[in-house]
Amino acid sequence: MSSKANMVMANLLHTVGRKKFGITMRFFFHRNQSTLRKRLDQPPSAFRLLLPILLVIIATPLCAMAAQEEKIATELSWRPMIPLPDKDGFALPFAGLVNGYPLIAGGANFPNEPLWKGGAKSWSREIFLYDPSEQAWENVGLLPIPLAYGSSFQLNDALILVGGQSDGVATSAVLRIQMESGRIEIDDPFPPLPEPRLMAGGIRFGEYFYLIGGCTTEESGGTDDLLRLPLNETNPSWERLDPIPGGRRFLPTVATYNDQMMVIGGVRTTEDGATTYLKDAYTYNTSKGWTRLPDLIFPSAAAASPAPVLRDGSVILVGGTDGTLAGVDPSTYPKVPRRLQILLPDRSDWQIGKDAPIARVGVSTIRWNEGWIFPTGESSPGVRSPEVWFLKIKP
């Protein structure tokens, strides 16, 4: 019996003290009080001794995660930018900087009818350049061919476009966009890819450009390739390195931090049509090779790439799809989840961050002006958005 119960009984005994059952009640109280003393005199059980320690063990990481989430939330500041001058927007355009100005080229959309009504996909040739002084996107030229679903990277003041798809056919082309005397110029000074490639992860890491995974055709289901192009050689050629340990994939997210290149998630398909959305993640180092990272909390394919990285090394995964709604009627498909998945700086685990104001699939990010531009992208199957958002990383 608890001490509170004994207190109640003592009060009751005081109230009815001289009634006939008072002796019985007094006897009952003293007997229980004696039992309580004996119990208190006994040494505490191991569980009672360990309970405070267990509570501390459980609470400490939870408090640390909450503190980390709050810290990250204070470092991120979202704001909308002027949208692209296209009513539909695009999925997986090429994106980067030319002469320091944000540029978006190509991409794919359904301009006439939506996907679920049998609309035809269109690949774009348009090139848009952002003018900060006017706060506007300007149409400044055309690609030589319609192009989307490739990778891009910065080289000096130029943007390099690698692979992709044109009118449904994968390409091995490598193009350079630069600006000369205020005009867009496009040439191809680099060797083409060893084979066509679309929906790969691509990122510059040191003096190399890396291309990870991707498909050789739209039906191929992904590869485990790691290709590399040296950028400081007079006559560079593509090199094939150790494949991704986790196997074939396309639409992974990539990121870099210090001496780490990261490959996160993706999706793969098999010949019988089975689709697997991936949770595995890896770092690649030129001297150590591949190292496994903790798995994502949720599978992720086609999240914004390259992923933003904070100054402390936290990697922010924005948007993407986890495959839970695969096969759902596109006309009733909900919007992409707004949740963030965050890889902690010590690479020990992932945690869920506070929701972003937007969520898209197929966003090619641009690192610019102490933050990241998130241009256009896909909000649900076949539905693009012309919206452009800026994520400011606070110092």
Residue 62: predicted pLDDT: 52
Looking at the fold, whether 259 and 281 belong to one and the same domain comes out as: yes
258 and 229 share one domain? yes
Task: Provide the CA 295 distance to its chain's centre, in angstroms.
Answer: 12
Rounded Cα gap, residues 304 and 315, in angstroms? 12
Out of 44, 63, 82, a domain closes at: 63
Same domain? 48 vs 193? no
Last residue within a domain, chosen from 40, 63, 86 = 63
Same domain for 227 and 177: yes
Do 98 and 201 belong to one domain? yes
User: CB of 94 within 8 A of CB of 363?
Assistant: no
Same domain for 70 and 35?
no
Instruction: Give yes or no: residues 75 and 167 share one domain.
Output: yes
pLDDT at 66: 56
φ, ψ at 37 (rounded to 5°) = -60, -40
- The pLDDT assigned to 27 comes to 38
* Same-domain status, 24 and 102: no
Helix (H, G, I), strand (E, B) or coil at 179: strand
pLDDT for res 108: 97
Q: What is the pLDDT of residue 22?
A: 40
CATH number at residue 114: 2.120.10.80
User: Are the C-beta atoms of residues 104 and 159 closer than 8 Å to each other?
Assistant: no
Domain of 27, in residue numbers: 3-63
150 contacts: CB under 8 Å, gap ≥ 6: 92, 94, 106, 161, 162, 163, 164, 165, 171, 197, 198, 200, 202
Per-residue pLDDT of the chain (395 residues; tens, 9 = 90+): 444 333 333 333 333 333 333 434 443 444 555 554 555 455 666 666 677 676 667 655 555 555 555 667 678 999 999 999 999 999 999 999 999 999 999 999 999 888 888 899 999 999 999 999 999 999 999 999 999 999 999 999 999 999 999 999 999 999 999 999 989 999 999 999 999 999 999 999 999 999 999 999 988 899 999 999 999 999 999 999 999 999 999 999 999 999 999 999 999 998 888 899 999 999 999 899 999 999 999 999 999 999 999 999 999 999 999 988 777 777 776 678 899 999 999 999 999 999 999 889 999 999 999 999 999 999 888 889 999 999 999 87
- Considering its fold, how many domains does the chain have in total? 2
Number of CB atoms found within 10 A of residue 148's CB? 27
Contacts of 72 (CB under 8 A, 6+ apart): 310, 314, 316, 342, 353
Residue type, 183: R
**Residue after which a domain boundary falls, among 63, 89, 114:** 63
Q: Same domain for 229 and 109? A: yes
Residues 58 and 73 placed together within one structural domain of the fold: no
pLDDT of residue 170: 97
Instruction: Please tell me what DSSP assigns to residue 157.
Output: T
| 149 shares a domain with 8 | no
From 64, 81, 75, select the one nearest 354 (Cα to Cα): 75
Indicate if 152 and 16 belong to the same structural domain: no
The residue whose two tokens read 């509170």 is: 4
